[in-house]
Amino acid sequence: MSEQTPKNDALVRVDGVEKTFRRGSEDIQVLSKLSLRVPAGEFLALMGPSGSGKSTLLNLIGGLDRPTQGTVHVAGERIDSLSDTQLAAWRARHIGFVFQLYNLMPVLTAERNVELPLLLTSLSKAERRKHVATALAMVGLSHRAQHYPRTMSGGEQQRVGIARGIVTDPTLLLCDEPTGDLDRKAGDEILNLLQALNREHGKTIIMVTHDPHASARAARTVHLDKGQLTNTGPQ
Amino acid sequence: MKFFPLVWGNLKRRKLRTSLTLLSILVAFVLFGFLCAIKQALVGGVELAGADRLIVRHKVSLIQLLPESYQARMERIPGVAAAAHQTWFGGVYQDPKNFFMQCPVVPEQFMAMFPEFLLPPDQMKAWLATRTGCIVGRNTAERFHLKIGDKIPIMSPIWMRKTWEFDIVGIFDGAKKGTDTTSLFFRYDYFDEARKAQNWGTGQVGWYTIRVKDPSQAAAVARAVDQEFENSPAETKTEPEGAFAQGFANQIGNIALIVAGILGAVFFTILLVTGSTMSQAVRERIGELGVLKAIGFTNGQVLALVLAESCLLTVLGGVLGLGFAWLLTSRGDPTGGMLPLFFFPVRDLLLGLGLSIVLGVITGILPAQQAMRLRVAEALRRM
How much of chain A, in percent, has pLDDT values that exceed 90?
A: 79
Extended beta strands in A10-55, E state? 12-23, 26-38, 43-47
Helix axes B4-12, B299-329, angle to 10 degrees: 70
Residues in chain B with CB shorter than 8 Å from the CB of A116 are: 6, 292, 295
Mean pLDDT value across chain B: 89
Pairing of strands A43-47, A204-209: parallel
pLDDT of B51 strictly over 90: no
What distance in Å separates the CA atoms of residue B276 and residue B256, rounded to the nearest whole number? 30
Worst-scoring range by mean pLDDT, A74-83, A136-145, B50-59? B50-59
How much of chain B, in percent, has pLDDT values that exceed 70?
A: 94
Nearest chain B CA: its distance from A117 CA (Å) = 6
Task: Compare all CA atoms of chain A with the CA of B14 and give the residue at the minimum distance.
Answer: A107
The per-residue DSSP string of A7-22 comes to -TT-SEEEEEEEEEEE
Task: Compare all CA atoms of chain B with the CA of A128 and give the residue at the minimum distance.
Answer: B2
Chain B contact residues (CB < 8 Å to A): 2-3, 5-6, 9-10, 12-13, 287-288, 291-301, 375-377, 380, 383
What distance in Å separates the CA atoms of residue B139 and residue B98, rounded to the nearest whole number? 12
Report yes or no: A164 at the B interface, CB cutoff 8 Å. yes
CB A91 to CB B288 under 8 A?
no
Residues in chain B with CB shorter than 8 Å from the CB of A120 are: 295-297, 301
Residues in chain B with CB shorter than 8 Å from the CB of A88 are: 293, 296-299
Extended beta strands in B112-226, E state? 117-118, 133-137, 151-156, 162-174, 184-187, 204-205, 207-212
Q: What integer pLDDT is reported at residue A7 of this predicted model? A: 47
pLDDT of A206 strictly over 50: yes
Q: pTM for the whole thing?
A: 0.72
Report yes or no: A23 at the B interface, CB cutoff 8 Å. no
Cβ pair A13, A172 in contact under 8 A: no
Higher-confidence residue of A183 and B106: namely: B106
Residues in chain B with CB shorter than 8 Å from the CB of A101 are: 383
Please name the amino acid found at residue B156: S
Q: What integer pLDDT is reported at residue A4 of this predicted model? A: 44
Q: What integer pLDDT is reported at residue A232 of this predicted model? A: 58
Q: What integer pLDDT is reported at residue B249 of this predicted model? A: 66
ipTM of the complex: 0.89
Q: What integer pLDDT is reported at residue B250 of this predicted model? A: 67
Please give the average per-residue pLDDT across B68-88, as a whole number.
94
Worst-scoring range by mean pLDDT, A1-5, A60-64, A166-170, B96-100? A1-5
The length of chain B is: 383
pLDDT of B99 strictly over 90: no
pLDDT-derived band at B47 (thresholds 50, 70, 90) equals: low
pLDDT tens, residue by residue, B219-259:
899 999 999 999 998 999 998 887 777 676 666 667 778 88
pLDDT of A5 strictly over 50: no
pLDDT tens, residue by residue, B332-369:
777 766 676 788 889 999 999 999 999 999 999 999 99
CB A112 to CB B377 under 8 A?
no
The SS3 call for residue A167 is coil
Nearest chain B CA: its distance from A25 CA (Å) = 19
Residues in chain B with CB shorter than 8 Å from the CB of A112 are: 5-6, 9
Higher-confidence residue of B45 and A55: namely: A55
Residue from A60, A65, A95, A119 to probe the interface with B (highest B Cβ count within 10 Å): A119
Nearest chain B CA: its distance from A162 CA (Å) = 12
CB A65 to CB B298 under 8 A?
no
* Among the listed residues B193, B195, B176, the one whose alpha carbon sits nearest the alpha carbon of residue B47: B176
pLDDT-derived band at A156 (thresholds 50, 70, 90) equals: very high
Q: What integer pLDDT is reported at residue A2 of this predicted model? A: 41
Partner-chain residue, chosen from A84, A97, A105, that has the shortest CB–CB distance to B294 = A97
CB A120 to CB B9 under 8 A?
no
CB A84 to CB B298 under 8 A?
yes
Report yes or no: A123 at the B interface, CB cutoff 8 Å. no
Nearest chain B CA: its distance from A226 CA (Å) = 19
